[in-house]
Every structure is written in C-alpha cells, then in structure tokens.
Chains A and B, each alone.
Chain A
Amino acid sequence: MSPESKLKVLKDRASMIQKVRSFFYKKKIIEVDPPILVKHPSIDLHIQSIETHPLNKSIGYLHTSPEYTMKRIIASGLKDIYFLGHVFRKNEIGKNHNIEFSMIEWYKSNVSFDYFIKENIALLKLFIKFKKSISTSYFDVFYKNFNLDIYKINKKELLAICRKEEIIFSNEKNLKKEDLLSLLLDHFFEKKAKRDILYIIYDFPQNEAALAKTQIENGSIVAKRFEFYINGSEIANGYFELNDEKVLRQRFEKIIKKKKRLTLDENFLKSIDHIGSCYGIAIGFDRLMMLKHNLKEIKEVLYFSYPEL
C-alpha cells in the first residue's frame, strides 16, 4: 500500500468516526465512554483479557468490549447508549485481527428485533453498499448449504464433511463438535457465500448464548444471538440481552470451572436484573473500514498495527 493511499484511508477513518457519531446523535442515542481499564476480566472461554498492574500488586484488565460497564450504565437508567472506541483482546493478531481494535457497541431498549436490525443496516450503509440482506437461522445455514442437521450430526460425520470441503486438521482428536461447526460456518462465508450481500445469522445453539436470552423456537432451545457477515468478513455480533442474574451467574460459573483464574464482577452481575428489555450489538469498525476500501489486511486501516509499533 502506497503512503498516499494509506493517508487517504486514515483521513476517511476520521471522517467515518464523525459520521457514526452524528448517526447516533440524530437518533438521540447517547455516547458513553466507560473505563477501558477494569477490575475483572471478560468471562468467556475463547476471549482473553490483557492483564495489567494498575495499583501496587492488584490486577486490572483492559476491557475486551465495554459490555459489562455499559450494562451497568443501562441499569442505572441511561437506556439508549453507544460506545465508539478501542478494545483489547490478548493473542489476536492476523490479517483480520489486531490486539487493539475499534468497536462500535450500542444498545436500544424496548424495540423489536426487526427494528433493531433495520437501524443497524442503516448504520452499515454509512460504510458500504450491499445489494440486499439475507436472514437465515444458524440451523438453516448448515441445513441448506451442507445438508446437515446441527442437532443430530456427530463429530465423525462432521469431520467427513470438513474433509470433503478440503478442511484438513493437524489433529482431529482435540476438536469438539462446536469447533467444527464454527469452522464450517467460517468456510461457508469465506468460500461459498454470495458477494456484496449482508448475511444475518440468528438463533444460535444454546451453548453459544454468551450474554443472550434463550428461547424455544420450533421445539429447540436457541440463543437470541445474531451475527452479520459481508464478503467473508464477520462484522457484528448482537444479542437480545439476557436480563436474569441467576441464569447469567450459572453461565459464568460454568466457564470459571474451566478457566479458574477468571473472577466475577459482582457489580455487573447485580445490575443485570435491571437492564430491562433491550437489544445490543458490537460492530467491528476496522472491519467496516476494510470493506469500504476493499482492503485485505486490518493493518491497512490502522495508524499502526501492534506488530508495526
């Protein structure tokens, strides 16, 4: 990338930050800038927080998303809010990943799924054009494209499908069924999905609920979670937000059993019963910039990627 085109992208970066802010301003969604340095790590099996030592020997963490603090803000009464800023994820470096990246995260109370999706499509359209959007349930993506039933299929059958798709593993033994499903999903968006179309995937398996509510749909318990994909790139992840402390605590404790170093943020947990009915979403700002400028590497839309520092 020439220095001139990089400067052009960086100038546009500044202008897009401005456009996102005025998008929310017009909709009376209030900007919040909660602390980046927090006292507890994110409770997640596959996302690692970066540790710091902010006060004598105490351990602090850089937030991996502003989710916990924003939900405390919502519980305190500020309902419709957004964050646009930097988040940090340990060990995530690659063509599409940088340890530090920019996220748009926002919440809206007392709205329908369709309304929330429509608002987000308008937000994405500030960055990119797409012909149309296709909404598909997580179950249907697999059923329609790989002819497999995610509930009935076993690991052996999934491995056979992966082999047919030329996904070869170094070690098949250390993989779980959900690993294979998420790789197949990624494979679908990278290799098979149509270009310039926004894919909205909704109703995830219960074990991928994270902080989303679960509901029964067509006889199966599903997580009210949704993800956006365009041109092979995962750009957003949203939830119909779980607002039940007891259920959330159970989910967190299950994860802590496997990752014993994690500590619970009691202030956050106590607030969750009071967030009401809301939808929330986290959108990768840098990924949108990559799509807008048709760039293949995240470092091309950043001032300095971590390896370039």
Chain B
Amino acid sequence: MSELTTNEIKPSMKVEVDNEPYVVVSNQFVKPGKGQAFNRIRIKNLITGRNVEKTYKSGEKLTLADIEEVSMRLLYKEKDDAIFMNDVTFEQLSIPLSAIKDNVIWLKDDVVYDIVLYKGTVIDVAPPTFMELKITESAPGVRGDTSSGRVLKPATLETGAKIQIPIFVDEGEIIKVDTRTAEYVSRV
C-alpha cells in the first residue's frame, strides 16, 4: 500500500489509521517555537462518520486507504439484498441491506448510487443529493393548522423514507427531496 508523508497529505485523500478508513478533512502545519514541526491532521472515519484530530510529527508517513469508488445503478431490491450494476462494465454487485445502513430509505430502482468499497467491502452507498420521489402515504392537510404555526405534515415516500411535507402537497404527487437532510425541497 502506498504511503505519503505528512506534507503531501491533502484534504479529501483517503487514509488508513489503526486499520480503519478515514477521509482527510484538513492538514495544518504547526511549528511551535523553535521546536520540532508537527502536522495537525483532522480526519473523518468513513465507517462511523466520527471526526478526530491527530498530531503527527512532520515527515511521518500515512498509509493511503484501499478505497474504491464506483457509480452503480440499482437494478432491483430483494428481501435482504440490493442488486446493483455498473453501467460501463455491466458487472453486477449484490449488497446486503444491512451494509447500506440508513441509506436503505433512499433505494429506488434505476437510480445511480455512489458506492464506496474499503478493501473490497462496501462501506457506503450514497444516494444522489436530490431525488424525485412519489408520496405513497400522507393524510390530507387540515385547514386551520397553519394558524397554530404548524405547516408541515408527515408523509411516506415510495422508497420508505418518512419525511415532513407542506400541508398543501398531497398523496400521489412527486416531490424533490434533499437526501442529506431528508427535507422536502419542492414539487416537481
């Protein structure tokens, strides 16, 4: 596995620390007084999402993580797995829903996802930032609710995601959703 020294490390690089994959958030060169130089490197765990800042001696080496990123289209979902296909190589990949974690609520056939593999194992299936999805279930908005300041109502989308939508939007409509925050953006 290739290694880089602290002064070659840049944000967005993927590194392996204590046998876990991280993405570099920032790298700050610090040289207190006339002493040894250090690099304060902030990294985010690609599996847990947790941020840590570590102090490295300048010149210390970091190992690049064995990370592969591919775009794949969801073909269909089974009981426990989702089957994806690479549009370029036509290669298929079956990913357990358990590995997709919270993003299972954004799985829709024929949509292209960004899949991240660490040492050949899927660690992330990221949906597009914005998706257009049909509302499969939502009670009609009740007139008068606006006066109490309550302008949103719960809704279930075709992928199973439960979000809050404005009361004027009805079941059966297609809406644009921000998958990062699970928030309603607009009608389509």
* A positions within 8 Å CB-CB of B: 44, 46-47, 91-97, 166-171, 174-176, 178-179, 182-183, 185-186, 208, 210, 227, 234, 237
Contacts and interface: CB of A to CB of B under 8 A. Distances in A.
Nearest to B56: A170
B52 A234 contact: no
B60 interface: yes
Contacts of B52: 168
Given A91-B58, A170-B60, A185 B36 contact: no
Interface string B1-34: 0000001000000000100000000001111111
A183 B31 contact: no
- Overall SS of chain A's interface: loop
B184 interface: no
**Interface range, B side:** 20 to 34
Contacts of A183: 30, 32, 38, 55
24 contacts: A46-B34, A46-B35, A93-B7, A94-B28, A94-B31, A95-B28, A96-B29, A96-B30, A97-B31, A168-B53, A168-B55, A170-B56, A170-B60, A171-B56, A174-B60, A182-B36, A183-B38, A185-B33, A186-B30, A186-B32, A186-B33, A208-B33, A208-B35, A237-B34
Contact of B54 (A44, A47, A169, A234): A169
B33 A227 contact: yes
B54 A182 contact: no
A133 B36 CA distance: 27
A168 B43 CA distance: 12
B55 A182 contact: no
A-B complex: 5 closest residue pairs judged by Cβ atoms? A94-B29, A186-B32, A182-B35, A182-B32, A170-B56
A86 B34 CA distance: 18
Nearest to A237: B34
Contacts of B185: none
B34 A171 contact: no
B55 A46 contact: no
Given A171-B60, A174-B57, A183-B55, A92 B31 contact: yes
A34 B37 CA distance: 28
Nearest to B60: A170
B32 A234 contact: yes
A152 to B, nearest CB: 20
Contacts of A92: 29, 31, 37
Nearest to A189: B32
B35 A179 contact: yes
Contact of A170 (B7, B29, B54): B54
A176 B28 CA distance: 21
A182 B33 contact: yes
A297 to B, nearest CB: 11
Contact of B34 (A168, A176, A208): A208
A170 B55 contact: yes
A178 B60 CA distance: 18
Interface string B101-135: 00000000000000000000000000000000000
Contacts of A227: 33
A15 B17 CA distance: 48
A210 B52 CA distance: 35
A160 to B, nearest CB: 15
Nearest to A227: B33
Nearest to A201: B33
A97 B29 contact: yes
A167 B32 CA distance: 14
Contacts of A210: 34
A91 B39 CA distance: 12
A178 B29 contact: no
B29 A93 contact: yes
Contacts of A175: 57
